């Protein structure tokens, strides 16, 4: 009872003003600040919440009895329903859940209304947004076996290979960009841009990827001298992935490939393991994983027919291609560190370049299908291929050169940060 009286006497603002650390006039019905912003205005219940553990392992708060609003401020029933249907939790592996409430959404994205307006209903995801990866129509337009031999090319050049002359500033650029991907993942602030958002949602997350995104958190602030211990922990998980990858289905193999790439980049950028023999073996294993995942298909059959594919099939194909491109850039950085030559990935010729940010960022099936229909109208023929960013063949005449430049310009209009990074590297190193 004493604690309840203390918490009541200390409450000088409604929940919204308290969260924003703003002055609240506690006006009956709705305070002035909430009214001007169209926010729901409520006050804490007298009963203190107690902690409980939800099914995902994260901590949630619940209070005994019904949490009723303060009699000083009634919350409309529509606002209650809106808050209940829009609050969501995203869990990545065993990391703590990140809660997103309607109040945060409204405060950051909706225009500030001078007067409270009508309630805007926000519907929960429909059943059509449920992802089903059980039937994917994919194929590989390239010889994927060449991917597994990538590591040999720096030591035993193959005839016909084209050397990439990386200027020092481009090498530094790739290094810093890939290092930033590692930092984002280790700090739990997001995932690298070769992982699709659907891959880390709790309903469809693959175990290799969710385990990876949780395990690498131990490398956020390693104590001096403990880098070797952390490297051993990651190394054991990498060995486990490689020993069992042949048992995985297509989607899980992709997750294993992505997880292994992230582990390898953490070992290099955060734990400085490049000089170890085990790291060399890890890179050979990585390219074998890439080969096996690619064998499961790198393009949708519908893409080849210039038609709209199934959303799930496109997610897997696009994520595979992006992960391959990231691995090749990482391979170039490693070769540069060793003073070895880097070669153009001619074995990837014909693969689609990273596609529109609107497609990659779509979170609903309807939104993605609408974006893909627009994409098809922009590209009446096939979309841009990764090799169109490489040096122009000497036998191209001027009209063909202009046509290629025009296609690249159209592609650049809608690419995301990952595509922009790919263009920056290719245009500066290959003259694309």
Return d(Cα 120, Cα 78) in angstroms, integer.
Answer: 9
Do residues 272 and 182 share a domain? yes
- Residue 314 lies inside a defined structural domain of this protein: yes
- Exposed/middle/buried for residue 118 (C-beta within 10 Å: 0-12, 13-18, 19+): exposed
Return d(Cα 113, Cα 39) in angstroms, integer.
Answer: 9
The backbone torsions φ and ψ at residue 343, rounded to the nearest 5 degrees and listed phi first, read: -120, 150
Return d(Cα 321, Cα 355) in angstroms, integer.
Answer: 10
Per-residue model confidence (pLDDT) at position 84: 37
Asked whether 37 and 112 are in contact (CB, 8 A), the reply is yes
Do residues 238 and 95 share a domain? no
- Residue 94 lies inside a defined structural domain of this protein: yes
Nearest by Cα to 321 from 296, 299, 345, 288: 299
- Domain end marker among 124, 146, 181: 124
Per-residue model confidence (pLDDT) at position 335: 84
Return d(Cα 421, Cα 406) in angstroms, integer.
Answer: 19
Do residues 266 and 142 share a domain? yes
- Domain end marker among 97, 124, 151: 124
Do residues 115 and 160 share a domain? no
Do residues 335 and 262 share a domain? yes
Scored b (16 or more CB within 10 A) or e, 51-85 reads eeeeeeeeeeeeeeeeeebbeebeeeeebeebbee
Do residues 239 and 100 share a domain? no
- Residue 181 lies inside a defined structural domain of this protein: yes
Asked whether 255 and 323 are in contact (CB, 8 A), the reply is no
Return d(Cα 91, Cα 48) in angstroms, integer.
Answer: 26
Nearest by Cα to 166 from 346, 340, 419, 350: 340
Half-sphere exposure for 357 (CA within 13 Å, toward CB): 10
- Six token digits for residue 349: 């010729």
Per-residue model confidence (pLDDT) at position 116: 47
- Six token digits for residue 305: 């027919």
- Tell me which residue range forms the domain holding 84: 78-124
pLDDT along the chain (432 residues), means of 10: 44 76 80 77 54 40 36 37 36 37 36 43 57 90 89 68 78 94 94 94 80 93 83 93 92 96 95 77 92 96 94 96 96 84 84 95 94 94 92 87 93 95 84 52
Query: Domain total for the chain?
Result: 2
pLDDT digit string, tens, across residues 126-178: 556 788 888 899 999 999 998 988 777 666 766 667 777 778 888 899 999 99
Do residues 240 and 385 share a domain? yes
Angle between helices 417-430 and 311-337 (to 10 degrees): 40
- Residue 19 lies inside a defined structural domain of this protein: no
Return d(Cα 37, Cα 131) in angstroms, integer.
Answer: 36
Do residues 307 and 384 share a domain? yes
- Residue 333 lies inside a defined structural domain of this protein: yes
Do residues 283 and 142 share a domain? yes
Do residues 111 and 166 share a domain? no
Do residues 116 and 148 share a domain? no
Do residues 175 and 302 share a domain? yes
Return d(Cα 229, Cα 27) in angstroms, integer.
Answer: 58
Return d(Cα 163, Cα 351) in angstroms, integer.
Answer: 20
Q: Is 111 helix (H, G, I), strand (E, B) or coil?
A: coil
- Residue 39 lies inside a defined structural domain of this protein: no
- Residue 10 lies inside a defined structural domain of this protein: no
- Residue 331 lies inside a defined structural domain of this protein: yes
Per-residue model confidence (pLDDT) at position 305: 92
């Amino acid at each position: 009872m004493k604690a309840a009286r203390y918490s009541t006497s200390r409450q000088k603002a409604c929940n919204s003003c308290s969260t924003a650390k703003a002055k609240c006039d506690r006006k009956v019905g709705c305070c002035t600040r909430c009214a001007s912003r169209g926010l729901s205005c409520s006050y804490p219940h007298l009963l203190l919440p107690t902690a409980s553990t939800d099914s995902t392992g994260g901590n949630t708060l619940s209070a005994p009895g019904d949490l009723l609003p303060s009699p000083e401020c009634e919350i409309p029933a529509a606002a209650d329903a809106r808050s209940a249907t829009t609050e969501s939790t995203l869990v990545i592996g065993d990391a703590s859940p990140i809660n997103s409430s309607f109040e945060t959404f409204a405060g950051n994205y909706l225009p500030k209304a001078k007067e409270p307006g009508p309630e805007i209903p926000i519907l929960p995801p429909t059943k059509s947004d449920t992802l089903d990866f059980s039937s994917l129509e994919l194929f590989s337009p390239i010889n994927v076996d060449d991917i597994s031999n990538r590591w040999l090319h720096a030591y035993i050049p193959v005839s016909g290979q084209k050397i990439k002359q990386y200027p020092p500033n481009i090498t530094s650029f790739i290094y810093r960009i890939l290092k930033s991907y590692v930092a984002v993942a280790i700090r739990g602030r997001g995932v690298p841009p070769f992982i699709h958002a659907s891959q880390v949602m709790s309903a469809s997350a693959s175990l290799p990827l969710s385990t990876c995104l949780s395990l690498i958190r131990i490398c956020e602030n390693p104590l001096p001298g403990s880098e070797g211990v952390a490297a051993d922990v990651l190394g054991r998980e990498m060995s486990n992935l490689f020993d069992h990858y042949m048992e995985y289905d297509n989607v899980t193999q992709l997750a294993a490939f992505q997880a292994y790439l992230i582990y390898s980049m953490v070992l290099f950028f955060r734990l400085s393991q490049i000089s170890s023999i085990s790291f060399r073996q890890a890179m050979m294993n990585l390219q074998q994983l890439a080969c096996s995942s690619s064998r499961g298909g790198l393009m949708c059959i519908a893409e080849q027919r210039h038609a709209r594919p199934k959303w799930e099939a496109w997610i897997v194909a696009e994520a595979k291609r992006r992960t391959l491109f990231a691995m090749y850039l990482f391979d170039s950085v490693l070769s540069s560190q060793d003073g070895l030559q880097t070669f153009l990935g001619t074995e990837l010729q014909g693969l689609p370049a990273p596609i529109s940010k609107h497609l990659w960022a779509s979170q609903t099936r309807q939104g993605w299908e609408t974006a893909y229909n627009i994409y098809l109208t922009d590209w009446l023929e096939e979309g841009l291929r990764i090799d169109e960013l490489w040096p122009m063949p000497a036998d191209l005449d001027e009209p063909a050169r202009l046509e290629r430049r025009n296609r690249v310009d159209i592609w650049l209009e809608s690419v995301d940060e990952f595509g922009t990074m790919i263009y920056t590297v290719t245009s500066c190193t290959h003259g694309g």
